[in-house]
Amino acid sequence: MRLDAPRLRRLRLLVHGLAALPLLWLPWGFAAGHFSADPVPELLHYLGIWALRLLLLTLCIAPLARRFRLGPLVRLRRAVGLWCFAYASLHLLAWVLLDLQLAWGLIGEEIIKRGFITLGMVAWVVLLLLAITSTQGWQRRLGGHWQRLHNWIYPTVLVVCVHFWWSVKSGWIEPLIYLLAGLVLLALRRDKLTRLWR
């Protein structure tokens, strides 16, 4: 199948629609009682896990494009990446607004003293930079530096997986699954990563 421009546009719309579904589910989830009497930790997990899933999905696109010889498929990475950043930002916003209730002194203290929160903030800053510079205009402005900046997505995957593992109070199976998925996706790029970090 040839992925021409009309098909790519339809596929991009599908990506946006599917990525929005977890957000659209939230009001129904609250109304239907899928969250407990203390929903903040569950909401944080829900938003964070979707950010991680979308982050891993961005790493799936290039191998799939190569495997099925669908080069234009890589153009969907920006849409998926922006949704990843959106969920990560909502995850951060829920923590700041609902968990710590804008107690800025406590927020700064938590970021400094709690390692998994430090990692989460580092990952969010990287995602912010990647989202801001994801346009063709920024790609032209940065030239060769653009690719070097966007290569930071690879260590960020591991940072986010460790952030998730470190944050859970019980149960290690789910974080392990995501960590292994991240490692497999990075292993598919071992030649590229070896060149990058020489």
126 located within any domain: yes
Q: Tokens 């990525």 label which residue?
A: 19
Tens-digit pLDDT profile for residues 86-133: 999 999 999 999 999 999 999 999 999 999 999 999 999 999 999 999
Asked if residue 83 has pLDDT above 90, the reply is: yes
Taking a C-beta distance cutoff of 8 angstroms, is the pair 158, 190 a contact?
no
How many other CB atoms are found less than 10 A from the CB of residue 17? 10
Asked if residue 167 has pLDDT above 70, the reply is: yes
Query: For the chain, how many structural domains are there in total?
Result: 1
What is the C-alpha separation between 53 and 19, in angstroms, rounded? 10
Tens-digit pLDDT profile for residues 101-112: 999 999 999 999
Predicted TM-score of the model (pTM): 0.94
3 located within any domain: no
* Containing structural domain, residue 128: 39-60+78-196
What is the C-alpha separation between 167 and 178, in angstroms, rounded? 14
1 located within any domain: no
157 vs 6, 86, 119, CA distance in Å? 32, 16, 11
Tokens of 190: 């071992």
* Residues contacting residue 150 through CB under 8 Å, at least 6 positions apart: 130, 133
Q: Tokens 């950010």 label which residue?
A: 51
Region 186-195 average pLDDT: 84
15 located within any domain: no
